[in-house]
Copies of this chain bind each other. A is one copy, B any other.
């Protein structure tokens, strides 16, 4: 096994160790370099051969999480083309992601409002990708300005994202209810956005 290959291998071991230690009770901020190194099977000092900081590791984790989020979008797009309803498939796909990769989602959720400005910015970027793509989709389906589409998409993403947060603590049955409720909320939003401009009743 080549040297670079081996290095990459333990690098991944560190990343995996960090991800596996994240949980409902343990945030990234509460991970210690030594604990991570222990689980990765290396000496504490060897950590520095791969990351200069825990922060650098953290940003790497956020990047990986963002990658998963983008894969999720691709999956959702496929489902939409085979199924039809944009809103319900999007929400359902997202909720599946949350329950299946809860620790990854927790990372994004927490660092979104965490103590590191760099982390917050990194997560915000990932979410904006998500939102921009949804806005593009909305634009094709509805006739509206770019700003309107983006604004609507932002609201939808916010709603879905933070309902996902509630789903983390909820049992599966309540989780399904959350999904149904969110779908209805998004439908209201879409309906309102479409008709609010056209007929200024208010």
Q: Which A residues lie at the B interface, using CB under 8 A?
A: 24-27, 29-30, 106, 109-110, 112-117, 120, 124, 151-152, 154-155, 158-159, 161-163, 165-166, 168-169, 181, 184-185, 187-193, 195-196, 201-202
Contact = CB atoms under 8 A, between A and B. Distances in A.
Nearest to A157: B162
Contacts of A117: 24, 169
A196 B155 CA distance: 18
B184 A188 contact: no
Contacts of A30: 29, 115
Given A188-B196, A191-B196, 8 more contacts: A106-B113, A109-B113, A110-B110, A110-B114, A120-B169, A151-B185, A154-B181, A154-B185
B151 A158 contact: no
Contacts of A184: 151
A189 B158 CA distance: 13
A36 B114 CA distance: 20
A165 B181 CA distance: 23
A195 to B, nearest CB: 6
Copy tally for this chain in the complex stands at: 2
Contact of A158 (B116, B159, B187): B159
Contact of A162 (B24, B116, B158, B191): B158
Top-9 shortest CB links A-B: A192-B192, A188-B192, A191-B192, A155-B185, A188-B193, A191-B196, A109-B113, A27-B115, A25-B115
A25 B193 CA distance: 37
A187 B195 CA distance: 11
Contacts of A163: 158
B110 A26 contact: no
